[in-house]
Structure 1
Amino acid sequence: MEILDLNNSTFLVNFSEEKDYLNALTGGPWVILDHYLVVHQWSHTFRTSDKPHRSVVAWVQLPELPIHFYHREVLFALGNLLGRTVKLDYHTEHMERGKFARIAVELDMNKPLKTRIRLDGFWQQVVYENLPEICFECGHIGHTESTCPTLIRPPTAEPQIQLINQESPPENSSAEPPAGYGPWMQVERKSRKQTRKGPNNQGASQRQSNGQKRGSR
């Protein structure tokens, strides 16, 4: 692995092994000294002075996805509905696990996360693995409800009342229901590694890596 220190807190990393490159790209999120390291594939148009790249690669789960959707082309298309498909989980691609399909997707941090997608007349739930911060108010990555810009409004002279129509939508409606963001849309990936603890070791290991010919902020 070769690391080149660029400007604007950006590093270019070259890997000699593709498996290490894919692990750096999809094995995150990577946190170093409480700072989230954004990792993305290198582009020949990338400039460190450009606006920061607002995307993150994350693993997405589709619980109880019907088995007839377990085809490589179909799974790639489903991932592209959420962002840009990067790779498929080995067990998903080879149909060795049917509890959920698992897809690595590059997500646009400027857009709210999708909690469901429409498939053959039913709503398919979407769950995200190990994302650092999700706002359950607006669905965006990178902040929580306490700092959500949609909730921070200038004070008004008079209180306002908002009327909410709580009437249930008609059955068999094809309109997308409310997003309904909440903790249920997050799942933590269990690590297979056991950390050793000692008097001067808190058992935490930190890694800094970002992909084969790629820049990161």
Structure 2
Amino acid sequence: MEASGGDDREGRDEISLLAEELVQLSVKGSKVVPSSKPTLICTVWTEKIYNPDSFKAHMKGIWKTRKKFEIQVAGQNLFLIIFELEEDLESILEGRPWLFRKSLILFDRLSQAMERDPIKLTSSPFWIKIESCSPEFDKKDLLHAIGGTFGGVLRSEVSEEICRLKINLDAQKPLKRGIFVSTGYVSKVWIPFKYENLPLFCFGCGRMRHGLSNCTQIPPEKKK
């Protein structure tokens, strides 16, 4: 009878691995890496849980692009949108704001690899309509002054009855209802704002991302 010790490797030409040992684990890195094609990174500004597949289907249904685009999940409530054409990416950015289930979608161009944690998407362009322009104010000066309170004017349109300006709106801050304006000749006048294509927002605290019923800053008795 021959004993086979641990050092006896005669006859062992190969080693057979168990099935469990053949499984390869794939762990997502901490970086978000753009494609070689034009790429946007985006998130949905909402506190609600939603299905990423429904988001993909919704955006592919409303966006009209010259060529197809791909939406990839890059993290929790974080997506990469990869375009074939730079013109399609630009048209999507120009068409902002975009909404998904009444919630604002925030975008930024992704040109280089970024760590996932520091990514902050918090602003989006919006149009503000001002209907009651007092004749005492120069309309262009008025729009410039109002735009300054938002960090600047992206674009403006002036007509006899309506003035519009496009500004970059911080989604973290309460919406401004209007502004008091005055000159050396005119006492302060209240100029109300009308935002175009607004998403879901709270009538209590004025912030986007939730409605009044889910607001934690307004006491229940005041919500009524």
Q: TM-score, normalised by structure 1?
A: 0.53
Check 1:32–1:125 CA distance in 2 against 1; reply closer, same or farther (3 A cut). closer
Distance across 2 between alignment mates of 1:85 and 1:41 = 20
Q: Which amino acid aligns with 2:152?
A: T
- Which residue in the other structure is 2:151 paired with? 84
Structure with the higher fraction of residues in strand conformation = 2
Number of residue pairs aligned between Structure 1 and Structure 2 = 146
Check 1:79–1:47 CA distance in 2 against 1; reply closer, same or farther (3 A cut). farther
- Which residue in the other structure is 1:116 paired with? 178
Aligned CA RMSD, in angstroms, stands at: 3.6
Note if contact 2:103-2:209 (Cα within 8 Å) is conserved in structure 1.
Answer: no
Which is bigger in relative contact order (C-alpha 8 A, separation at least 6)?
Answer: 1
Find 1:102's aligned residue among 135, 156, 164.
164
- Which residue in the other structure is 1:70 paired with? 139
Identity among equivalent positions (%) equals 23
| Cα distance per residue 1:32-54 (max 9 Å; x no partner) | 57764212466989753215322
Check 1:51–1:147 CA distance in 2 against 1; reply closer, same or farther (3 A cut). farther
Note if contact 1:3-1:11 (Cα within 8 Å) is conserved in structure 2.
Answer: yes
Q: Which runs of 5+ in 2 are unaligned?
A: 1-36, 41-71, 183-187
Check 1:49–1:56 CA distance in 2 against 1; reply closer, same or farther (3 A cut). same
- Further displaced range: 112-121 or 58-67: 58-67
- Further displaced range: 8-17 or 60-69: 8-17
| Cα distance per residue 1:17-40 (max 9 Å; x no partner) | 4x962x433423323577642124
Distance across 2 between alignment mates of 1:58 and 1:138 = 19
Q: Which structure has the greater CA radius of gyration?
A: 2
Note if contact 2:39-2:111 (Cα within 8 Å) is conserved in structure 1.
Answer: no
